[in-house]
Amino acid sequence: MNLYRDLVTGRIATGVTERENIKLVLAALARQCVQDTFVPREIPRQQALELAGAGDDGLRMLDKLERSHLIRSASITENISFSLDSLAEYLAAQDVVREFQSDEARWRELLLRADELALPAGPLREPVTQGVARADAAVLVGDGAPDLAGFRGPVLRAHLVADGGALVGRPVFAFAGIGRPEKFIASLEASGAKVIGSCFFADHHPYSEDEILELKAIAGEALLVTTEKDFVRLSIASREGIKVLKVSARFDDAAAMERLLDSAAPRP
């Protein structure tokens, strides 16, 4: 992510027009890399050239992105991929938000398709042994000690930190469609909120307008609170009056995480 930060702040491209062009090309490449399976993959170099621009302009653009270590070419196939999967996902998501905006129908269609295709999901979850075989590092969230199948790379630990200052002492009614709703309740209580009730749905639940109206009626005078993940699945109209408990990952050793990212995509 530091490389993309350098782009935005002008360390890779100095002119405003050049920076905007690069960001547009990166967004187009990212969308193409994730659109079929929602998992970043390689795309043919010719396809990348078509997205980067016509003729020599496209060649120069791809060359600049490769020299900046934002993308890379496979040595045999010459396919193009992002140096960091997380960067491809971030840029593709930004581009989708810009394009879809408040178009509820398109969001619902995308989320339903994602539920069908995206991994990990239930019995299709990648086995640990397969994951660690291709991993450069492991990140453990929370205090658990899962079996990492003999993984010998760096292991970083992070904890989710809730930003619930605005909920301290206030009665709340919680709802969510997540895998472990008890963690959501624990975060609310740790933030000082008074949880008077809750209603939970299946993971990735697509909320209807009637369901949200019913939840608001049940909550009454209490604040209706959900997760960021659930909030984005609500229509713009449904979001009115609903609060979000925001969380962020805080690494125990933030400097180690920065070093790991820098080593994955070294500066030119």
Phi (first) and psi of residue 126, to 5 degrees: -65, 130
Cα 107–chain centre separation: 16
| pTM higher than 0.95 | no
Strand partners, 203: none
| CATH topology classification for 162-251 | Rossmann fold (3.40.50)
Domain boundaries, the chain: 2-101, 125-159+257-262, 162-251
Q: How many whole angstroms separate alpha carbon 144 and alpha carbon 127?
A: 18
Average pLDDT across the chain, whole number: 83
Tens of pLDDT, residue by residue over 166-191, are: 999 999 999 999 888 998 999 999 99
Say what the pLDDT of residue 105 is: 83
71 Cβ contact list (under 8 Å, min separation 6): 29, 48, 62, 65, 80, 81, 82, 83
Tens of pLDDT, residue by residue over 42-52, are: 899 888 988 88
**Has domain 2-101 been given CATH number 1.10.10?**
yes
* Separate counts of helices (H) and strands (E) for the chain: 11, 8
Instruction: Find out whether 208 and 225 touch, Cβ atoms under 8 Å.
Output: no
